[in-house]
Chains A and B, each alone.
Chain A
Amino acid sequence: MNATSLETLPLAVRDLNVAYQSKVVVWDADFDAPAGKLVAIVGPNGAGKSTLLKASLDLIPAASGSVRFFGLPYRKARHRVAYVPQRESVDWDFPVSAVEVVAMGLYRRLGWCMPVRHKHREMARAALVKVGLGDFATRQISQLSGGQQQRVFLARALAQDADLYLMDEPFASVDAATERAIVEVLRELRARGKTVVCVHHDLPTVPEYFDHVALLNMRVVAQGPVAEIFTTENLRKTYGARLTLLEEAAQAVERARVAAQHRS
């Protein structure tokens, strides 16, 4: 949490406060995404997980605080950051094909008024292949299943070829095949030294999918490596004393511990 970490971290959030009218949503949040890690942001519903991402990306105004991407404000580091919004954030009944949506990830690189050329369509197609949708490139997007739509969004982010990927609930209500495809993509990104921050809602899969975790309930309760931070005690602090949830979490914690021993 010192000055040098601010210079180098892919994402560093300090004292972030966000409020909708008078209702505080994110309160004095400090959050770090270390380079080359898969980071999960977990917390109960309404804890401000998506808000934290959106405020970092200047999509909603923050009341106070500072956000640095690779030591720079967002508008200067934009080309190194890719954002995967929630699938429900757009109307999929739109007259474009999957590959056209993915090509949107390249628009910034194309610049004003320049059309998408063959080369870019090929890049977009390659991104679709990576998420297992190579056969669906020309399919109109409303004819894709929910999971496939989620993967189209992921492919659009891959096409951007960023260094930091911010994903808002990529695993929300997707089929098993999509979940596997996404996990595979995340691991490949990590292998290439990229950083991924996911808003995540499914506690049991946290130890399996992620390296780092930030527990958020308006403020960041705890953050760090999953093995250290993802404990029953911390989860109780984040979620309160809801029993079923805690049981589930306890099992997940146990699995994480075993997995950690196994690795070492």
Chain B
Amino acid sequence: MILRGAWVTFRKELWSYCVSPISWAIAFLFYLWRGFELQELIRGYSYYRGDLDQFPTATYGQQSTAYMVLFVPALLTMRCFAEERRTGSIETLMTAPVTDAGVVFGKWCAAAAFYGLLWLPSVLVLHVLEYGPFLASDLAFGPVAAAYLGMFLLSSMLLAFGVFASSLTDNVLLSAVLAFLVSLGLLTLPQKIASQVGTLAQNYYVRELLEKLDVMRNFGEWFARGLIDTSQVMFYIGGILFFLFLTTVSLSSRRIA
């Protein structure tokens, strides 16, 4: 029943993302921004005759990437449960013979799949740039694949948190703000904390914890260089499962007397 609920919810949610004006607005803004950035980048590389091996890496180290990682997961997931609670459709959803876990997993999968679809054209653009009038050179796609995997895992964890935030309220805006603040905190706070705790940062466990949580640094050290560290991958998968579990608990708490 978990699988059935997840699959049916996944299909319905993915369809909703595809026909939602918000999704198109997100994609439009991203590709408009990305287009300008790419134009600047190509101009810069041809002017300074930069190392083209670095070009793919440079394409994702842009502001539009920060927009996609910081804002978009919160915007995509804000409606997941908050909208269902606001309209009351949560009642028909949760009284159908499906498990809470199935519904949660299906909603997250749909958000992650649509998020992946949003990124897909940016890879295709790189491939097109390899041809004639543009860069006319083979680009190194290995590091790109690792970087995209890292970004996708990080964003999927933020999407999982977004789904959780959405289950806590019937206010769509509040859900988005909460998800955005936590995303911002996760990306910026570990470094700030590490610099503020003084000698405590020398403690092995504290250091390890802060290092593991410092996703920006880990991203730069591993995924951005084309390296895939399984412990990093497990960290993100663990984070995803943790937030999905919390969402299920949040929904099920309604059924606990």
Do they bind each other?
Answer: no
